[in-house]
């Protein structure tokens, strides 16, 4: 418990304050207690012994400790210490009873490499890639929803900076506590207030000559400009922001601005100086039966030679478990090289998988495999049908075709393994009166068909989807053709009507 709040009698609330698994405690609605934990997420706790009387007593004690008032004239109270942040709302405003929110910000790093790998918080290759990027002084912004664990991940990244690199933290509410976590390092913790704004603190920060600047969260136009000015002056930055995905971080920064800065110019500056965006997702996992956090996206930002801002999705995991991996571009590799770090071009996708556009990953062994779902089947080049082509359709769904050239009929039939059924389309209604429409199995072409040396005619269904193969028509010996190998168009129409 913080020394600042040692004299406060928290009563039954103390059991949650002393529990390291609990991150947030919410009291509202005349007696409801909701807690948020690292393992289970958000859930309600019954029979806690916490009521309005206790919360009001805690509020008055905290107000006395902070030298503030809490009453109808001052209905809001913020009480902050090194590891606790309390917010009270008086019942004159909260009409269903006094409200309290306790946020725990312990001076410790909760994330441990072995545990987060085992818990599927992050893949090992992505973890090692990000650690190399921190070593190479990449500017990284972490996005996610409230409570997703952005600040904890920033602390974990900061823990992997070099021992001799100076760090300055700039916060409006104390959450990082790096000066307490690493008491022997050169760290300065700065806090903004009504007297010292972000701009004022940043000017002083520059004069302190830090290697790293850590902003706990970018939530205002002033903080956006602080980020932009920090990175453009050659300092490295780690920070968090509320965004729905990593790829939208630059646009989210622009939306926080309160000025009419040109959008393209702003995006170019962010893409040029911010190397990586990381998105963290927190949700209740039915599979694990608990609250689960994970790195769901890692994006590289860069500006091309023609001064166009671009992004490259290095890693993305969709809700259905599909994983996309791409190697970093030459722009990130060149930046790391300028910082004295050589990164292998195929660090995420190895050499043998490079020709493919997309990659799927088998989650059982974390090895990438080629995603062939977009491959286009190769079929023989079709030859056009002559105008004097006629067909014979039998009741068994087969297709016998006769080709008459120079009064020498030649029997043609569709390769049976590919034909499923015949669509009853009169010849005089087919395109150009010379195409027969068939349906085919959605499967690769049989080996014996592919090896036929004389494919002559491709019979294709109009508007056929790309993953359906067409039947291929091959000539057959004249002596094997049936006797009824020619019919006229009126006979075909009659057969269609009968069917």
pLDDT in tens, 175-232: 888 999 999 999 999 988 888 887 788 888 888 889 999 987 888 888 888 788 778 7
Q: Estimate the crossing angle of helix 263-273 against helix 221-232, to 10 degrees.
A: 50
Residue 353's φ and ψ, nearest 5 degrees, are -105, 0
The larger pLDDT score, comparing residue 321 to residue 431, is at 321
Confirm if 58 and 15 have CB atoms less than 8 A apart: no
Residue 430 confidence (pLDDT): 43
For residues 249 and 119, what is the distance between their CA atoms, to the nearest angstrom?
26
The structure tokens listed for 458 are: 């491709």
Distance CA 447, CA 13 (A): 73
- Rounded distance between C-alpha atoms, residue 34 and residue 24, angstroms: 8
| Residue 375: per-residue pLDDT | 44
Summarised one tens digit per residue, pLDDT across range 36-66 is 888 787 889 988 889 999 999 999 999 998 8
pLDDT score recorded for residue 259: 75
Pairing of strands 276-285, 41-45: unpaired
Give Cα 484 to chain centroid, integer Å.
62
Q: Are 189 and 135 in contact (CB under 8 A)?
A: no
Within 10 Å of residue 42's Cβ, how many Cβ atoms?
15
How would you label 96-112 residue by residue, b for 16+ Cβ within 10 Å and e otherwise? ebbbbebbbbeeeebbe
pLDDT tens-digit series, residues 114-144: 999 998 999 999 999 999 999 999 999 999 9
Distances (CA, A) of 27 to 38, 50, 52, 310: 19, 8, 9, 45
Q: Are 422 and 461 in contact (CB under 8 A)?
A: no
Confidence band for 380, pLDDT divided at 50, 70 and 90: low
Predicted local confidence at residue 373, as pLDDT: 41
Q: Which residue has the higher pLDDT, 391 or 345?
A: 345
Please report which confidence band the pLDDT of residue 444 belongs to, taking 50, 70 and 90 as the band edges: very low
Q: What is the mean pLDDT of the chain?
A: 76
Residue 433 has what pLDDT? 41
Cβ(106)–Cβ(83) under 8 Å? yes
CA angle 52, 56, 60 (to 5 degrees): 175
Give the global pTM: 0.67
> By the 8 A CB rule, do 314 and 326 touch?
yes
pLDDT value at residue 310: 94
Distances (CA, A) of 141 to 1, 335, 416: 31, 17, 59
Tokens 């030649």 belong to which residue?
A: 410
Phi (first) and psi of residue 466, to 5 degrees: -65, -20
- Residue 260: exposure state from Cβ atoms within 10 A (0-12, 13-18, ≥19): exposed
Q: Pseudo-torsion of CA 219, 221, 223, 225, nearest 10°?
A: 150
Q: Which secondary-structure segment (H or E) carries 187?
A: strand 187-191
Mean pLDDT: which of 89-103, 194-208, 283-297 is highest?
A: 89-103
Confidence band for 343, pLDDT divided at 50, 70 and 90: very high
Whether the pLDDT of residue 491 is over 90: the answer is no
Residue 458 or residue 498, greater confidence = 498
For residue 313, the cross-strand partners are 299
CA gap 304, 313 in Å, rounded: 16
pLDDT on residue 37: 86
pLDDT digits (tens, 9 = 90+) for 298-324: 999 999 999 999 999 999 998 888 999
What pLDDT band is residue 497 in, cutting at 50, 70 and 90?
low
CA atoms within 13 A on the CB side of 444: 9
Going from the C-alpha of 320 to that of each of 119, 126, 317, 325, the distances in angstroms are 18, 19, 8, 15
- 346-366 pLDDT per residue, tens: 999 876 555 444 445 554 444
Question: In what helix (H) or strand (E) does residue 438 lie, and over which residues does it extend?
Answer: strand 438-440
pLDDT in tens, 147-170: 788 989 999 999 999 999 999 998
Percent of the chain, pLDDT > 70?
69
């Amino acid at each position: 418990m913080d020394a600042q709040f040692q004299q406060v009698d928290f009563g039954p609330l103390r059991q949650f304050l002393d529990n390291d698994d609990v991150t947030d405690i919410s009291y509202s609605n005349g007696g409801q207690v909701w807690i948020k934990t690292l393992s289970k997420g958000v859930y309600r706790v019954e029979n806690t012994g916490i009521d309005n009387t206790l919360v009001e007593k805690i509020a008055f004690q905290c107000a006395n400790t902070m030298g503030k008032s809490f009453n109808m004239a001052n209905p809001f109270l913020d009480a902050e210490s090194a590891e606790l942040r309390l917010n009270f709302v008086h019942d004159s405003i909260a009409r269903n009873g006094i409200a309290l929110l306790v946020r725990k910000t312990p001076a410790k790093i909760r994330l441990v490499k072995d545990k987060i790998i085992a818990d599927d918080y992050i893949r090992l290759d992505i973890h090692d890639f990000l650690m190399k990027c921190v070593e190479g002084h990449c500017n990284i912004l972490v996005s996610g929803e409230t409570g997703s664990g952005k600040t904890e991940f920033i602390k974990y990244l900061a823990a992997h900076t070099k021992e001799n690199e100076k760090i300055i933290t700039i916060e409006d509410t104390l959450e990082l506590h790096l000066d307490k976590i690493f008491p022997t390092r050169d760290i300065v913790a700065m806090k903004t207030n009504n007297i010292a704004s972000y701009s004022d603190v940043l000017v002083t920060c520059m004069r302190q000559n830090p290697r790293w600047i850590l902003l706990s969260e970018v939530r205002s136009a002033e903080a956006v400009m602080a980020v932009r000015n920090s990175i453009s002056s050659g300092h490295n930055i780690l920070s968090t922001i509320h965004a729905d995905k990593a790829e939208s971080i630059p646009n989210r920064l622009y939306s926080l601005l309160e000025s009419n800065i040109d959008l393209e110019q702003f995006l170019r500056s962010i893409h040029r100086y911010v190397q990586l965006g990381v998105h963290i997702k927190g949700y209740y996992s039915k599979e694990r039966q608990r609250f689960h956090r994970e790195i769901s996206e890692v994006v590289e930002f860069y500006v091309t030679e023609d001064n166009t801002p671009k992004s490259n999705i290095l890693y993305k995991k969709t809700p259905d478990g599909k994983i996309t991996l791409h190697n970093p571009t030459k722009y990130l590799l060149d930046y790391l090289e300028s910082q004295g770090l050589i990164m292998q071009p195929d660090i995420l996708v190895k050499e043998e998988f490079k020709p493919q556009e997309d990659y799927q990953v088998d989650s059982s062994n974390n090895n990438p495999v080629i995603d062939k779902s977009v491959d286009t089947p190769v079929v023989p080049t079709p030859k056009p049908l002559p105008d004097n082509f006629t067909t014979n359709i039998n009741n068994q769904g087969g297709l016998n075709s006769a080709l008459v050239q120079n009064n020498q009929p030649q029997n043609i039939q569709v390769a049976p393994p590919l034909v499923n059924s015949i669509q009853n389309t009169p010849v005089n209604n087919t395109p150009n009166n010379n195409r027969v429409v068939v349906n085919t199995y959605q499967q690769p072409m049989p080996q014996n068909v592919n090896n036929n040396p004389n494919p002559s005619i491709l019979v294709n269904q109009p508007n056929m989807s790309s993953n359906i193969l067409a039947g291929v028509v091959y000539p057959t010996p004249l002596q094997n053709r049936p006797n009824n190998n020619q019919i006229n168009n009126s006979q075909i129409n009659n057969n269609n009507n009968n069917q």
